[in-house]
Structure 1
Amino acid sequence: MEFTEVPVGESGCGPYGVAAGPDGEIWCTEVHHGRVGRLDPGGGYRGFQVGPADAKPTVIITGPDEAMWFTQYQGNRIGRIGPDGAVSGFGVPEANPYGLAIGPDSALWFTAMNTGQIGRITTDGTITAFDLPDPGGFPSLITAGPDGALWFTLNQANAIGRITVEGSLNTFPLPTPGAAPVGIAADRDSLWFVEIGAGQVGRITPEGDITEHPLPDRTARPHAITAAPDGCCYFTEWATGRVGRIDRAGAIDSYALPKPGSEPHGITLALDGTLWTALESGYLAWAKP
C-alpha cells in the first residue's frame, strides 16, 4: 500500500484529526492554528478559523445533522461547522474536550480530559456530564460500540471504559502496565484500541475479554485507529511515521509514509474506501487499501 501526500494549510498548521464529510470531502483540524480545513474531491483546500490560534481543535467527526463537529481542547468548546463554513459551538468550561463520537441516541459524546468526565451534548447544545471513578484517568478517544454503549480509552488509568446512554459506567483494566491507550474503534462485534505506551494493539469484547498484540516495533507509539468493513483495522504509528494494519487474527503489517518525521495522528476511511491520515508535518495522506 502506497501513500500520496497532499499539502494543506499554512506552514506549521499541524493537521491532527481527520474525517470524511457527507459529500465526499475530507475535513481535518489544524491543531496549531485554531482552524478546521476542508479538502474537496477536486483537490482544493480551504481553512476556516474556528477559534483563537491556541484553541487546539483536535478530533473531528460528521455529526448526526451532517455538519462537522469537533473538539477544541484548549478552547474548551464543542464546535460545529456547516457546509457553508458557518461556525458555531458550545462551551464546556475547564473540560479540555478531546474525543468525540455519535452515540446510538443521536447525541454527541465527548471525553473531558481535565475533569475526568464523559460528556453528552445534543445538537441544540444541551450538555450532560458523567463523572468517572478516577478523575485523573485522562479519558481520551471514544466510539460507539456494537452493544449500544459508548467505549473510551483511559490513558492514565490504563483501562478501557464503557458507558451506556443512561450513564451506567464500567472500566476494564489493561493487562500491560503503562500501556496508555489512546485510539479506539468498533467493528461488528468488538472494540479495537491502540496502546501508545506499550506499542500494542488491543481488542476487547463487550463482555470485557481483552487480547493484546505487540507491534513489531514496540517504540512505534500507535495513536489512532479505524475499523474497515473487511474486519481489519488501520492505525497510525506516530513515532515511526507509518500506518499499520491488523486483521482479526492479529496479523500485523506496516506501511511507510512518503516522508520521515511526518507524525501521523488521526486516521479514517472515506466513503469510497480510501484511507486518509492527518500528518502533523503539514499534509493529509491517502492510500487505497
Structure 2
Amino acid sequence: MTTRAPAYLIGSHTVPTAGAGPYALAAGPDGAVWCTLVHAGRIARLAPDGRIDEFPLDSPDCGPSLITAGPDGALWFTRNRDHRIGRITTDGRTRSYALPGAEPGPYGIAAGPDGALWYTALNTHSIGRLTPDGEVTEYPLPGTGTFPSFLVTAPDGALWCTLNQAHAVARITVTGDVRLCPLPTDGAAPVGLAAGPDGSLWFAEIGAGRIGRLDPSGPDGAVTEYPLPDAQCRPHAVAVAPDGACWFTAWATGRIGRVTKDGRVTEVALADPGCEPHGLAFAADGTLYVAQESGDITRWDVTAATEG
C-alpha cells in the first residue's frame, strides 16, 4: 500500500558555504543538530532557532562523512579522504586521529557500548575501534571487497554494519567476533542502517530500491524487505522514529519516505528533485532533519505520520 506521507516542512536552512555538500547528520548533546559538509571539509551546527555555524577543519579536502555523538560529549566523524577520525566539541574545537594502514577509507561511525568509537574501513574491509585517547584496534571482516559502510550500536550490545558489496549485514561484538547475515535479494547493496526501539535493524538497499528490516531475535536473523514505489530511487540513509517506523532518503528521486513494520510505504517529494538528500536524523523533540547535498538542511514535522 502506498499513499502520500503526512509530513510537513517546517524549515529550510541553507549552509553559508556554497557547494559545501551537507551529507550526514547527528543530534548533539547540546540540543543542536550537527552536519558534515563533505565537499568543504567543514562541520556545521544547526541550532534549534535556525542559526547555522560552520567550523573549518584542518584540511578542506578531508571529506568529512558520517558523524555521531560520542561518549565524551563531543561529536565524532570519519574523514574519508584523508583517512582520519575527527572530533569536534560543542564549542567548535577540533582535532583528528590518524588511522593505521594505507588509505583505509573510514566511513561509518558509532559510539560503542564499551566507551570507544567504532568505524568501518571501506578499503581494508575491516571494523576499527578507537578509544578516546587515540588507541586503535582493527578487526578484519570475512572475505574481500565487502565494502563495510554504515555502522550502528544495537540494543543487543553488539555493533552491526552493512556490507555493501557482500549484500549482507554483519554483527560484531566488542571482542571482535563477527557473524554475517546474507540478504535474500541479489544486488541489494545495503548502505544506511539504524536500530529500532524494539531491537530490530532497518537498512536501505540502494541497489534493489528496498528498505529491509532484520530481527536479530529471529532464526538466523529474520529479514523482511519492503519494495519502494520506484525501484531506481536509490535509498541511502535511514532513521527510526520514536514510533518504530523507518524513514529514509531517496537521493535519485529527491524524496524522503516512511516504512512501517506492516509494510505501509509513504513518500514526500522535496522541493528540488535534484537536491540529493543523504543523511537524516531525529532531534530530541522528534523533528526530522534531512541533509540535502545541494546545500540545504530541511526540518520536518512527522507528528501526523506518527499519529496516523
Pairwise TM-score range, normalised by the shorter structure = over 0.9
Moved over 2 A (4+): none
Say which of 43, 46, 67 aligns to 1:39: 46
Matches within 5 A, 1:42-81: 42-81=49-88
For residues 75 and 208 of structure 2, what CA distance do their matches in structure 1 show?
32
Gaps of 5+ in 2: 1-6, 303-308
**After superposition, what is the alpha-carbon deviation per residue over 1:69-96, rounded to whole angstroms, capped at 9, x for unaligned?**
1100001111000122110111114211
Say which of 193, 196, 201 aligns to 2:203: 193
RMSD: 1.0
Q: Which residue of 2 aligns with 1:242?
A: 255
For residues 273 and 204 of structure 1, what CA distance do their matches in structure 2 show?
24
Q: Which residue of 2 aligns with 1:271?
A: 284
Please say if residues 9 and 37 of structure 1, whose CA atoms lie closer than 8 Å, have aligned partners that are also in contact.
Answer: no
CA displacement at 1:178 relative to structure 2: 0.8
For residues 260 and 181 of structure 1, what CA distance do their matches in structure 2 show?
23
**1:231 aligned to 2:238?**
no
CA displacement at 1:49 relative to structure 2: 1.2
Q: Which residue of 1 aligns with 2:33?
A: 26
Q: Which residue of 2 aligns with 1:147?
A: 156
For residues 232 and 207 of structure 2, what CA distance do their matches in structure 1 show?
8
For residues 255 and 106 of structure 1, what CA distance do their matches in structure 2 show?
37
> Identity over the aligned pairs, expressed in percent?
53
For residues 158 and 51 of structure 1, what CA distance do their matches in structure 2 show?
35
Say which of 192, 203, 215 aligns to 2:228: 215
Number of corresponding residues: 289
For residues 240 and 172 of structure 1, what CA distance do their matches in structure 2 show?
29
Please say if residues 32 and 56 of structure 1, whose CA atoms lie closer than 8 Å, have aligned partners that are also in contact.
Answer: yes
Please say if residues 161 and 193 of structure 2, whose CA atoms lie closer than 8 Å, have aligned partners that are also in contact.
Answer: yes
Please say if residues 193 and 201 of structure 1, whose CA atoms lie closer than 8 Å, have aligned partners that are also in contact.
Answer: yes
**Counterpart code for 1:160:** V
Matches within 5 A, 1:101-180: 101-180=110-189
Please say if residues 194 and 222 of structure 1, whose CA atoms lie closer than 8 Å, have aligned partners that are also in contact.
Answer: yes
CA displacement at 1:236 relative to structure 2: 0.5
For residues 82 and 180 of structure 1, what CA distance do their matches in structure 2 show?
34
Gaps of 5+ in 1: none
Q: Which residue of 2 aligns with 1:2?
A: 8
For residues 121 and 255 of structure 2, what CA distance do their matches in structure 1 show?
28
Please say if residues 238 and 246 of structure 2, whose CA atoms lie closer than 8 Å, have aligned partners that are also in contact.
Answer: yes
For residues 250 and 200 of structure 1, what CA distance do their matches in structure 2 show?
11
**After superposition, what is the alpha-carbon deviation per residue over 1:227-261, rounded to whole angstroms, capped at 9, x for unaligned?**
11111111111111111101111211111112221
CA displacement at 1:2 relative to structure 2: 2.1
Please say if residues 209 and 233 of structure 2, whose CA atoms lie closer than 8 Å, have aligned partners that are also in contact.
Answer: yes
**Counterpart code for 1:131:** P
